[in-house]
Amino acid sequence: MSVLRNGLHGVRAGVPVLLGYVPVAMAYGIAAKGVGLSFWETVLISVFVYAGASQFFILAAIKLGTPLPGIVAMVSLLNARHLLYGPLIAKWLPQALQSRLQAAFLLTDEVFATAFHAMGHQPANAQFAWYMGLGLTAWLSWIGGTIIGLIAGSGLTAQFPQVDQILRFALVALFFSLALLSVKRPMLRALLIASVITLLCLIYAGTTPAILAGTVSAWLCFVPGNQAALSDNGEAPQKDMGGGLMGQTEFWLAIIIMAVVTWLTRALPFVLMRKSTIFGRLASGRFVILGPALLVSMTVVVVYSDLQQATGATSVLSYFCGLVAAGVCARLTRNAGFAVLAGMAGYGAALLLLPV
C-alpha cells in the first residue's frame, strides 16, 4: 500500500509535466498525420521512441527524404545530453540494474528536471516508487496527447487557440522554476557565464551543442565554496505516404534504431556506473554544478526558442509576465508545481487583459 501511495505522490509531482506534454504531443500527432503516418505508426513512435525533439526530427527527416544513417546520426547527437542525466539522479535509485534500466526508459528532460529537484526530498524507501509515478505520468500523457492530436487536435487548437498557448507555457514555467530552485549562491557566476555561452551556441550551432556547451562551461568556471551552501537535495516537397508506412522495411528499421539509441543514451551511464567510478563522480565535488547547469541551459534554450515564435509586443510581454509569476511563486513557496500554475495564470491573464 505504501508503494502505491508513494507512486501517487510521484503522479502528483508529474502534473506540471502532464500539462506541458499534452499540447506538445498533440502538435506531434497533428504533424505526423500531416506527413502521412498512419494512426498506429504515430502512436507506436510515441510509445517506444518517446523523445519529443527526436520525434519531430523524424517527421522532418521523413518529409525531406533523409537517408537512414543521417537520421540515426542526428538523433544520437540530439540525445547526447541524456548521458549526463543518469549519474545525477542515480544516488536516489535502487542499485539493482533492472530497476535502473526501467528508470532509464522514462528519463526525459522534464522528468530529469523534476526528479533532480524533488527526488532527494522523498524518504529513501519511497524514492523509486515516486520516480516511477512521475515517469509513467509523463509517458502516458505524451501517448495520450499524441492520440488526442491524431483524433481531434486540429479542431481543438483552432477553436481554443489561447487555451493551447497557455498549456504550452507550462513546460517553460516548469524549467524556469526548477532552474531557479536549483541555483545556489556560489554557483551564480558560473551559471551566468553558462547562460551566455548556451545562448550563443544556440544561435550558431543548435540545441544539443548549446546545452552541452553551457553545462561544460559552468563546470569549467565553477569554484566550489561552502559545501553546506551547495547541498540541497520554405517547405520541401512532401513525400507521398499514402495510408501509412506500415510494411516499409526502412521506415520501421529507422524507428527501431531510434528507440534503441534513445534508450541507450539514457541507460548507458547506469550500466557503466557498475563497472567504473567515472560516472559516479558526476554527482559529487566540483561536479555538483552539472545538474543546475543542465537545468539553466535547458531553460535558456526553451525560453529563447519560444520567444523566437512570439508574435507582437503583447505576446512577448505576456510571456515575461508568466515568467515573473512563476519565478516569484517558486522563490516564495519552494514548490515547482505551484510555480507552474502561477506562471500559467500570469501568462493567461496577460494574454487576455493586455491590448492586442
Q: Structural domain boundaries of the chain?
A: 2-231+245-353
Give the Cβ contact number of residue 130 at 10 Å: 27
Cα gap 343→16, rounded to integer Å: 11
Q: Given this model, what pLDDT does residue 117 score?
A: 84
Residue of higher predicted confidence among 67 and 18: 18
Name the band, by pLDDT with cuts 50, 70 and 90, for residue 287.
low
Q: Given this model, what pLDDT does residue 321 score?
A: 92
Q: What mean pLDDT comes out for the span 163-188?
A: 79
In the chain, where does DSSP find H-type helix? 2-13, 15-34, 39-48, 52-64, 68-78, 85-89, 97-105, 109-118, 127-148, 154-159, 161-182, 188-204, 207-221, 227-230, 249-272, 290-309, 312-333, 336-353
Cα gap 345→341, rounded to integer Å: 6
Of 271, 310, 288, nearest in space to 230 by CA: 288
Name the band, by pLDDT with cuts 50, 70 and 90, for residue 334.
confident
Do residues 25 and 140 make contact, with C-beta atoms less than 8 angstroms apart? no
In 90-160, where does DSSP find H-type helix? 97-105, 109-118, 127-148, 154-159
- The C-alpha cell 553546506 sits at 228
Q: Is the pLDDT of residue 80 over 90?
A: no
Give the Cβ contact number of residue 235 at 10 Å: 6
Comparing 78-82, 110-114, 130-134, which segment has the lowest mean pLDDT? Answer: 78-82
Highest mean pLDDT among 107-121, 133-147, 337-351: 133-147
Q: Given this model, what pLDDT does residue 281 score?
A: 59
> Up-side HSE of residue 101: CA atoms within 13 Å toward CB?
8
Q: Is the pLDDT of residue 61 over 80?
A: no
- The C-alpha cell 508529474 sits at 14
Name the band, by pLDDT with cuts 50, 70 and 90, for residue 296.
confident
Q: Given this model, what pLDDT does residue 154 score?
A: 65
Q: Given this model, what pLDDT does residue 283 score?
A: 53
Cα gap 36→145, rounded to integer Å: 18
Comparing 191-195, 257-261, 264-268, 284-288, which segment has the lowest mean pLDDT? Answer: 284-288
Q: Is the pLDDT of residue 25 over 90?
A: no
